[in-house]
Amino acid sequence: MTDYTLTMEVDHNTESTGSDENEHSHPYTGEKEFVVKNHLIKGEKVLIAQVVGGQMYIVLDRL
């Protein structure tokens, strides 16, 4: 349950969101890195498992 980086292959064109004067479009291709924001947030509920013989816990999933 942490943030991580992922590499994806992309092949599309950008979309213009400006006025007709500022229209802008170009290919967006190749391998790109993306950060997946997957960290836990304070107060979030999770399912945990206790490691046998200790005070260690493993987060299994979000609830």
Name the residue range of residue 43's domain.
Answer: 4-62
CA proximity to 58, closest of 46, 41, 44:
46
Number of domains, the chain: 1
Residue 43: how many other CB atoms lie within 10 Å: 5
User: Is pTM, for the whole model, over 0.75?
Assistant: no
Position 54 pLDDT exceeds 70: yes
pLDDT single digits (tens) 19-40? 666 677 888 899 999 999 999 9
